[in-house]
Structure 1
Amino acid sequence: MRSQLLLIAKTPVPGQVKTRLCPPCTPEQAADLAAAAIADTVATLSAVPATRRTVVLSGQMTVPRGWSRVEQHGDGLGHRLANAFADTAMPGTASVLVGMDTPQLRVDLLSAAASLLDDADAVLGHAEDGGWWALGLRDPAAARVLRNVPMSTAETGDRTARALQALALRVAPLPVLRDVDTWADAEAVATSAPQGRFAAVLTAMRPQGTR
């Protein structure tokens, strides 16, 4: 089945992104890490075969060459995610959405996620903190269930899975990944993907109170 890739992202403005990294990071360092995470994710998604690649953006940012762009809108993250699927829907095309918090993503992992949608109705990648890092849907209209799923909780992933299953969808699991929320997360992710820009930026900085 044809598939498109969606990246939901927020402009890396100091004081507005990755605030849980502060401390030990300064707001500027946290924004630099967010920008690096976006860059790594864009590079990975750009290498995955897809009908279209779209940044679903909050704020102002230059769109990568060859990518489309739509604006985030809606009251709360669940509504913004549902609207992202609806605004980018293409006939006969599955949609796979990821966020900017998993710069350790690999091409083979995303390619496998898209391939699973040849048989499954949905794919869902849980995050270690209880959320999810990826959601793929054969029919993007099914994302409407996200409007009623509380986001950013320890049960978000499980509740998303149950909401999709309540539509009688076949949900295939993806590997569990670690989101970058805290400094410990950032260190762990950089260690798991040492060749990326995220790891290079983290290594180069010396956050206050960190050795």
Structure 2
Amino acid sequence: MGGAPRPVRGGQGTTCAVAVMAKAPRSGLSKTRLCPPLAPDHAAALSAAFLRDTTDNLFAAARGAPIIPYAAYAPAGSEEAVKLHLAPGTALVLADGSAAAPSGVDGFGRCLFQAVEALLILGHAAACVLSSDVPTLPTRLLVEAARLLLEPGERGVLGACDDGGYYLLGLKRVHARLFADIAWSTDAVAGTTRRRAAEIGLDLVEIEAWYDVDDAAALERMRTEAHGYGAPATRAALSRLAIPDAVTA
């Protein structure tokens, strides 16, 4: 399962790498914005289920587009703990913000920049970073993002979230300005990214917005979601942990 990525060769240079931003699920450190209503152990279990569903979804999307699934993990040394929760065959790249980054690229932006840079260095034609908080993201949106990026010409692809962030950013070249001087974890992230793209003259194509599960309201929405990816691991976790009762109590 998983393993260190190798440089792509030959026809694989026409692929789009998609990496979910992944941390090993840990009680008290995972999905803390869901505590309450969830207990820390339940939040960590749900985080693990999100990772499995998201990477399974990437492999489903790979049947419709030349996608190579990755997990961009942190911190260093947590490879084995992360791999436990990934779909078999998911490759790993380190994205802990430790690599050198241009001035102004700070915080979570360093992790995103590191992930995109690493994937493109491996030889993929395009690279996407993907939130780990979108277990019900429709598979078709992953396929659409990859297809758009692999068309001739320079562009980026943005999948915005309802809360002002984004769940996906795809690029064919590393553009540091897209990660610089951004107030991460705020409702300004997607808007600032759009302005940064305009500043550097990058055509930023937007795909359908979706929602990330990072608060009680979004968790309730996910419970009744009927139009996205089925997210079987997450559904099983909700049932096994009696999370619906915790949410509605």
Question: Given the two structures, how large is their TM-score scaled by the length of structure 2?
Answer: 0.77
CA distance in 2, matches of 1:123, 1:209: 34
CA distance in 1, matches of 2:197, 2:191: 10
Structure 1 residue 100: Cα displacement: 0.5
> CA RMSD for the aligned pairs?
2.0
Structure 1 residue 115: Cα displacement: 1.2
Structure 1 residue 80: Cα displacement: 0.9
Partner of residue 17 from structure 1, selected from 4, 24, 30: 30
Identity score, percent: 30
1:53-100: CA deviations, max 9, x gaps?
Answer: 221111422154322212222251011111111122144611122110
Matches within 5 A, 1:110-121: 110-117=142-149, 118=151, 121=155
Structure 1 residue 195: Cα displacement: 3.5
Query: What one-letter code is carried by the residue in structure 2 that aligns with 1:205?
Result: L
1:13-70: CA deviations, max 9, x gaps?
Answer: 0100111111121100011111111111010001222353221111422154322212
The alignment partner of 1:162 has SS state of helix
From the superposition, tell whether residues 157 and 44 of structure 1 become closer, same or farther in structure 2 (CA, over 3 Å). Answer: same
Query: What one-letter code is carried by the residue in structure 2 that aligns with 1:188?
Result: R
CA distance in 2, matches of 1:170, 1:82: 19
The alignment partner of 2:164 has SS state of coil
Q: Which runs of 5+ in 1 are unaligned?
A: none
1:68 match: 91
Contact residue 120 and residue 172 of structure 1 kept, 8 A: no
Structure 1 residue 190: Cα displacement: 2.9
CA distance in 2, matches of 1:194, 1:86: 28
Structure 1 residue 175: Cα displacement: 1.0
1:41 match: 54
From the superposition, tell whether residues 96 and 9 of structure 1 become closer, same or farther in structure 2 (CA, over 3 Å). Answer: same
1:6 match: 19
Is residue 2:130 matched to residue 1:94?
no
Matches within 5 A, 1:1-211: 2-49=15-62, 50=66, 52-59=68-75, 60=78, 61-62=82-83, 64-74=87-97, 75-89=106-120, 90-91=122-123, 93-117=125-149, 118=151, 121-139=155-173, 141-192=174-225, 193=228, 195-196=230-231, 197-207=233-243, 208=246, 210-211=248-249
Moved over 6 A (4+): none
CA distance in 2, matches of 1:132, 1:209: 25
- Structure 1 residues 192-201 or 171-180, which shifts more? 192-201
CA distance in 2, matches of 1:166, 1:173: 17
Contact residue 190 and residue 198 of structure 1 kept, 8 A: no
CA distance in 2, matches of 1:195, 1:201: 13
How many residues matched?
A: 210
Query: What one-letter code is carried by the residue in structure 1 that aligns with 2:17?
Result: Q
Structure 1 residue 143: Cα displacement: 4.4
CA distance in 2, matches of 1:179, 1:33: 13
The alignment partner of 2:168 has SS state of strand
- Structure 1 residues 34-43 or 71-80, which shifts more? 71-80
